[in-house]
């Protein structure tokens, strides 16, 4: 199968990161997670990391020009052209999504935007149990609120472009993964 180019959407705690890693292995496409890139920059103590650390701890979004800049650089690498891409955590708002259209066009555009759907109560509980360093109750609430306000509108944005695929995110990791692969294969089969 030729290179697949996908965006994964889903509330924090929907299992997006885990599924992105597995899909990336399954399709041989690089997994690009802006959250992972920012966490790496924080760990390395780079200038970007120092700016991002405080913002991430609050559960706020890193400014668009910074985020779009790192994604633009990453998408320009050869592996994306030859092996495709699994975008996880980007885009997070309509500005980023509009920018992504321009960045994805030269590499063939997106095949699908897959929304892993998990109800709010369920993700809240999952995130509390996950207990990552930046998962304070305040940060969790802030991220979920930002998701509803900034990221949810992308569902309509991509529905309008006929790219949206919704997959039920409840069940075991394997069940959700199988649903994702079935959905992506169907879309790829049509393209
Ligand atoms: P994540 O691992 O995707 O939950 O991202 C962790 C944190 O990194 C977020 O809470 C944001 O502070 C920041 N971040 C990740 N992706 C983006 C993005 N596309 N735009 C702005 N900030 C982001």
Distance CA 71, CA 107 (A): 14
pLDDT at 126: 85
Q: Which of 36-45, 53-62, 123-132, 137-146 is the least confident region?
A: 123-132
At residue 52 the predicted structure's pLDDT band, cuts being 50, 70 and 90, is very high
Cα 189 to ligand 1 centre (Å): 31
Distance CA 22, CA 108 (A): 23
pLDDT at 101: 98
| Ligand 1 atom nearest 36 alpha carbon | 2
Check if 127 has its Cβ closer than 6 Å to any atom of ligand 1. Answer: no
- The residue-averaged pLDDT of 143-147 equals 91
Nearest CA to ligand 1 atom 12: 56
Check if 13 has its Cβ closer than 6 Å to any atom of ligand 1. Answer: no
At residue 1 the predicted structure's pLDDT band, cuts being 50, 70 and 90, is low
| Ligand 1 atom nearest 71 alpha carbon | 19
At residue 183 the predicted structure's pLDDT band, cuts being 50, 70 and 90, is very high
User: 3-state SS string over the chain?
Assistant: CCCEEEEEECCCCCCHHHHHHHHHHHHCCCEEEHHHHHHHHHHHCCHHHHHHHHHHHHCCCCCHHHHHHHHHHHHCCHHHHHHEEEEECCCCCHHHHHHHHHHHHHHCCCCEEEEEECCHHHHHHHHHHHCCCCCCHHHHHHHHHHHHHHHCHHHHHHHCCCCEEEEECCCCHHHHHHHHHHHHHHHHHHC
Q: Is the pLDDT of residue 191 over 80?
A: no
Q: Is the pLDDT of residue 62 over 90?
A: yes
Nearest CA to ligand 1 atom 5: 35
CA distances from 113 to 20, 59, 97, 133, 155 (A): 12, 24, 11, 29, 9
Tens of pLDDT along 72-109? 999 999 999 999 999 999 999 999 999 999 999 999 99
- The residue-averaged pLDDT of 119-124 equals 90
Check if 144 has its Cβ closer than 6 Å to any atom of ligand 1. Answer: no
Q: State the average pLDDT for the chain.
A: 94
Q: Does the N-terminal peptide bond of residue 91 adopt cis geometry, omega within 30 degrees of 0?
A: yes
pLDDT at 140: 85
pTM of the model: 0.93
CA distances from 170 to 89, 98, 121 (A): 19, 30, 12
Q: Is the pLDDT of residue 130 over 80?
A: no
Distance CA 120, CA 189 (A): 32
């Amino acid at each position: 199968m030729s290179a697949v180019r996908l965006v994964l959407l889903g509330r924090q705690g929907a299992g997006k990161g885990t599924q992105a890693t597995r899909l990336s292995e399954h399709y041989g496409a690089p997994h690009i997670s802006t959250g992972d890139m920012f966490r790496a920059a924080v760990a390395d103590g780079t200038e970007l990391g120092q700016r991002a650390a405080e913002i991430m701890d609050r559960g706020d979004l890193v400014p668009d020009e910074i985020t779009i800049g790192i994604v633009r650089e990453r998408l320009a690498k050869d592996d994306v052209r030859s092996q495709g891409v699994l975008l996880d955590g980007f885009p997070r708002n309509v500005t980023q999504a509009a920018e992504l259209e321009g960045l994805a066009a030269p590499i063939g555009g997106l095949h699908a935007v897959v929304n892993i759907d998990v109800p709010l109560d369920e993700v809240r509980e999952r995130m509390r149990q996950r207990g990552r360093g930046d998962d304070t109750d305040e940060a969790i609430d802030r991220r979920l609120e930002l998701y509803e306000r900034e990221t949810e509108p992308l569902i309509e944005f991509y529905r309008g472009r006929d790219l949206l695929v919704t997959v039920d995110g409840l069940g075991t990791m394997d069940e959700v993964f199988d649903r994702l692969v079935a959905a992506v294969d169907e879309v790829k089969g049509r393209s």
